[in-house]
Structure 1
Amino acid sequence: MKKRVIITLLAAAMTAGLLAGCGSKKEEKQNLAVTPIETPAAEETTEEVETPEEEAGAGVIPVEREIKDGKMQSYLTGEWKDEAVANRRPIAVMIPNNSPAMPQYGISKASIVYEAPVEGRITRLMAVFEDFDDLDRIGPIRSSRDYFVYVAMGYEAIYCNWGLARPYVEELINRDTVQNISAPVEGIYNPAPEAYDRVSRPGYATEFTGYLFIDGMKKAADRLGYTWEYDDAYVPPFTFAADGVKAETSYEDAETAVKIMPGGTEGNKGGYGAYNPYFEYHEDDGLYYRYQDGKKQVDEIDGSQFAVSNVVFQYCHGEVRDDHDYLAFGVHGEGDAIVFTGGKVIKGTWKRYDGDATPAKFYDENDQEIIFNQGKTWICNIWEEYGEYAVYE
């Protein structure tokens, strides 16, 4: 008989002064609608620090990527892609995830999907694409929340949205440090109308007919003067297993799980219960298949089911901000995390202390970077205060 495991959180509190400094420890939780304080520079030291590949031997992709036959390994998936794609900054696209919007178009082509609750206790997706040249459009497109913007900044992604929660996003999204391609709505100072249009979807509400068009998006990026090159200080979000190596071989003693339910089955206080999403692990191909509303979640392009190589539960402190039920989540600092890869359950933490331009990194219980299997990753933002609802079996 399968044993259901209720995921319990390690004690976590907030680090004072960090925007969404979720999960940092031993401080009173702070209002999340503030800008993170710059982390003081570390003192110089002569102590040698091991890189992930030194820790794991030859089992992970080297930090310094190499070119082979015009291809390089992606920062986002570890897979071999054309050099131009592997070196190109991604786009981060806001996509609705509620039933009246389904099916979504193009999302299965994303390298990373970040899922988080929004008002109304449903989730919204931010899909991060690096290989989008063969797509004509992506969508439907929805509005921004500030915690999504901060996550996108960590990937050095160009942020794409149609609408925004103005009280909490307007100042942020219009900063010089945020490169965005936004539909022309109130609160956006440099809109990109050439990137968006509506698509006929008989029977759908107007809010689910707006799409990002790739050709227009590229034109907008050029007009706005955005560069497509990663910064020299770019920090990759994951450490991937090397070619021919399975990440799970590094975690032979870890628990196993074949079904992952970020909202469980007992309620919707944490935002996932409205449509009861879950992932089912298939040992034959090592992928986690996504289900929602009791059926496969598919891409409108070809009807293919969403499937990823890694699923992450990233526990974040959350707050309800106002009468509109707008939420805030901590995405700086540190907190608990669980990584599911190759059927294994790897418990640990996430950490993000180096400012907006670096991503959260994931560490095991020995404080070593967790090794991910090559391929796509789905990150579920778990509302820490309702973390008991997240289960796996």
Structure 2
Amino acid sequence: MPYFQANLQNVRCFNLKRILALVLSVLMVLCLFAGCGKDEEKSPNAPDVNGDGLNKNEVVSGPINPLTGEKVSEDKSDLRPYCVMINNHPDARPSVGLSQASIIYEALAEGGITRMMAVFNDVDGITVGSLRSARPYYISMAQAYDAIYIHAGGSEQAYSDIKTLGIDNMDGVRGARSGEASSYYRDQTRLSQGKNVEHTLFADGSKLASFCKNNYELKHDSSYDNTYGLSFAEDAVSQCTNSSADFTVYYSYYNTTFKYDTDKKCYHAFISGDEYIDGGNNSSIDLANVIVLNVPTKTIDSYGRQAMELTGSGTGYFFTGGKYVEINWTRADRADNFHYTLKDGTPLNLSVGKTWISIAPLDSTKGIVFNG
């Protein structure tokens, strides 16, 4: 072979080796960066994935449940949620369906007893109960979500508000439309245990959803803010300035204690020493956030019915990750969302997951007692 041809082949082989070496080097660098991305540290106070619907508290891409910030497979943020009145009398516990709610409200009813309103992104396939009657201030809470309101009876003022305000609702007591009353049923086991009849009414969520599909518009208006004024962040706990893994909210002689579970990184709620559980699946109610709003209440009649103003502004507390911070809340009118800020006016970020909102007259009770 002539000298120049052999030399040309050597040059080509040398260049090919250099190119291969360069490609391998680039691939190694890319793999190194990819590995670093996988090992990136997350917030130590982020709720763990635990099979109970509580997702890691991290910002996600794609569709989310706007009530919890959790990632979902299908974007349903344009659909109206359901607000369901839940009985909290001792004979009505354990309630059914609470572990599947996105947000749980607790506020006073008559006789110093509290009542709950559970906010569901969807009720299809869920049994809920036992159900209780409507009150004007709960209707106001439901309006903050443009929600369909599920109840069993109500005060005369509540019925008046439902009519005059045009509240889309389902009533398990006076409901007379086709498919309305049949969505509700009495739990025969509880009746056989001697429970009073008012503590035994439940609803079949699939029938509720079917009735609403046939009678109401299921989507928000296109101009509606379907974030509900809520925002979520991975480091929401960094807003908190004080520690308290165990605290009690006093409504009256009724009180709810919240304890932070360091293993599951969430709160559990207790009443009279017993944990609130979902009687439908015997599971805990895992809470990423607890919000306590200081709202004065007053008794307005001989039955002990309450009145409270849920528009305007006020103060409160936000708990997440075993810590808390004082907050402010505002709401322009009944159609507005609740807006939460830190004391300096910075919008409040929630941790990803379920939220319990306590509405309590803190100034006329023991308020909040920090147990540890």
The answer to whether structure 1 residue 117 and structure 2 residue 119 are counterparts is no
Answer whether contact 2:168 2:216 (CA < 8 A) is retained: no
Percent of aligned pairs with the same residue?
A: 26
Cα deviation, residue 228, structure 1? 3.3
Aligned to 2:340: 362
Answer whether contact 2:89 2:113 (CA < 8 A) is retained: yes
In structure 2, distance between residues paired with 1:61 and 1:360 = 23
Answer whether contact 2:125 2:204 (CA < 8 A) is retained: no
Cα deviation, residue 238, structure 1? 4.9
- 2:134 equivalent among 140, 144, 168: 144
- 1:173 equivalent among 155, 162, 175: 162
- SS, match of residue 284 in structure 2: coil
Answer whether contact 1:246 1:373 (CA < 8 A) is retained: yes
Aligned to 2:293: 314
- 1:331 equivalent among 295, 298, 310: 310
In structure 2, distance between residues paired with 1:107 and 1:351 = 27
CA 115–154 in structure 1, closer or farther in 2 if over 3 Å, else same: same
Aligned to 2:263: 284
In structure 1, distance between residues paired with 2:122 and 2:210 = 17
Answer whether contact 1:91 1:157 (CA < 8 A) is retained: yes
The answer to whether structure 1 residue 378 and structure 2 residue 356 are counterparts is yes
CA 238–256 in structure 1, closer or farther in 2 if over 3 Å, else same: farther
Q: Partner letter of residue 352 of structure 1?
A: R
Cα deviation, residue 189, structure 1? 8.0
CA 336–250 in structure 1, closer or farther in 2 if over 3 Å, else same: closer
In structure 2, distance between residues paired with 1:255 and 1:142 = 36
In structure 1, distance between residues paired with 2:226 and 2:330 = 13
Q: In terms of Rg, which structure is larger?
A: 2
Q: Partner letter of residue 182 of structure 1?
A: D
In structure 2, distance between residues paired with 1:161 and 1:206 = 15
Cα deviation, residue 256, structure 1? 0.7
Aligned to 2:54: none
- 2:85 equivalent among 87, 94, 117: 94
Q: Partner letter of residue 368 of structure 1?
A: T
In structure 1, distance between residues paired with 2:204 and 2:211 = 10
Provide Cα deviations, 1:232-280, integer angstroms capped at 9, x if missing partner.
22253454334xx2211244xx0111112111xxxxxx33x33x42110
Taking only aligned residues, the RMSD between alpha carbons, in angstroms, comes to 2.2
Aligned to 1:259: 246
Q: Partner letter of residue 183 of structure 1?
A: G
Provide Cα deviations, 1:188-230, integer angstroms capped at 9, x if missing partner.
6868213212221221211111112112212221332332346
Aligned to 1:79: 70
- SS, match of residue 72 in structure 2: strand
Corresponding residue pairs, total: 311
In structure 2, distance between residues paired with 1:288 and 1:170 = 35
Aligned to 1:340: 319
CA 286–231 in structure 1, closer or farther in 2 if over 3 Å, else same: farther
Q: Partner letter of residue 351 of structure 2?
A: N
Aligned to 1:21: none
- SS, match of residue 216 in structure 1: helix
- Structure 2 residue ranges without an equivalent (≥5): 1-56
In terms of fraction of residues, the more helix-rich structure is 2
- SS, match of residue 372 in structure 1: coil
Cα deviation, residue 321, structure 1? 0.2
- 1:198 equivalent among 181, 186, 194: 186
Bigger relative contact order (CA 8 A; separation at least 6) = 1
Answer whether contact 1:339 1:345 (CA < 8 A) is retained: yes
- SS, match of residue 164 in structure 2: coil
Cα deviation, residue 351, structure 1? 0.3
Q: Partner letter of residue 281 of structure 2?
A: D
In structure 1, distance between residues paired with 2:365 and 2:274 = 24
Aligned to 2:235: 246
- SS, match of residue 100 in structure 1: helix
Aligned to 1:164: 154
In structure 1, distance between residues paired with 2:237 and 2:166 = 38
- 1:221 equivalent among 199, 209, 212: 212
Cα deviation, residue 61, structure 1? 9.0
In structure 1, distance between residues paired with 2:242 and 2:268 = 19
In structure 2, distance between residues paired with 1:241 and 1:234 = 15
Answer whether contact 1:235 1:358 (CA < 8 A) is retained: no
Give TM-score scaled by structure 1 length.
0.74
Answer whether contact 1:194 1:220 (CA < 8 A) is retained: no
Provide Cα deviations, 1:153-200, integer angstroms capped at 9, x if missing partner.
10111100001011x212111235311111242xx6868213212221
In structure 2, distance between residues paired with 1:128 and 1:387 = 27
Answer whether contact 1:241 1:247 (CA < 8 A) is retained: yes
Provide Cα deviations, 1:315-360, integer angstroms capped at 9, x if missing partner.
112111011111001111111111111122110211001x222221
Answer whether contact 2:77 2:226 (CA < 8 A) is retained: no
- SS, match of residue 67 in structure 2: coil
- SS, match of residue 278 in structure 2: coil
Provide Cα deviations, 1:37-83, integer angstroms capped at 9, x if missing partner.
xxxxxxxxxxxxxxxxxxxxxxx999xx96x3xxx112100001132
- 1:211 equivalent among 202, 208, 225: 202
Q: Partner letter of residue 102 of structure 2?
A: S
Answer whether contact 2:137 2:309 (CA < 8 A) is retained: yes
CA 176–295 in structure 1, closer or farther in 2 if over 3 Å, else same: closer
CA 231–342 in structure 1, closer or farther in 2 if over 3 Å, else same: farther
In structure 2, distance between residues paired with 1:380 and 1:238 = 18
CA 384–292 in structure 1, closer or farther in 2 if over 3 Å, else same: closer
